[in-house]
Amino acid sequence: MTLECLGVATSGARAHCCVKDAHSNLKQRILPARVRVERYNAAMSKLTHLNAAGEASMVDVSDKPGTRRRAVARGILRMAPETLREIVRSGVPKGDVIAVARVAGIQAAKKCADLIPLCHPLPLSRVTVDFSPIDEDGLEVVAECVVTGPTGVEMEALTAVSVAALTVYDMCKALSHGIQIAEVRLLAKTGGKRDFAADESA
């Protein structure tokens, strides 16, 4: 905005120009705010766990057909190389880390609805939790969940990975408190309205 717009100008032409500039400036400020509100409202309308009043609500899936649904999730633990070696050779004082963490992950998938408030209890037909050393300081955790039902099992797979990784940390914290749990993510899902596959390069 020019000095004239601040009150220095006295001529009619300059005053008109000043008012026009001020109106344009105000319009530019208001329009993005309105667009942001519209985008926010559009995004909120897609959240199925909210009712018309914006309150948390469990989705009614009673009318959805039961189909075979599968989800795969992954997480990575980073740790000192010597800690990883102890895990691989079952040298951790608390016992077999992989065996205990696998059972913990499977149990967590079955208990997902007790942990995540709006998840549906599902009769899982398959849960696997596998571990693979990567590099010299990484342990990959991969969980797969399968169900025939009206809703997906993404949360079950993610919960299995998370709890399995936490169990590894618990069993190995006597060796190191510096273990990091990272990159917990959904890798793939099939069944339901649409499939998903993560971009492995991202």
Return all residues near 139 (Cβ < 8 A) that are at least 6 apart: 76, 77, 79, 84, 87, 131, 132, 133, 168
Q: Is residue 170 among the annotated active site residues?
A: yes
Helices of type H across 116-172: 154-172
Set 21, 130, 137, 170: catalytic member? 170
Query: How many angstroms separate the CA atoms of 167 and 99, rounded?
Result: 10
Q: Tokens 């897609």: give the residue.
A: 46
Nearest CA among 155, 98, 166, 99 for reference residue 124: 155
Q: Looking at the annotation, which residues are catalytic?
A: 170
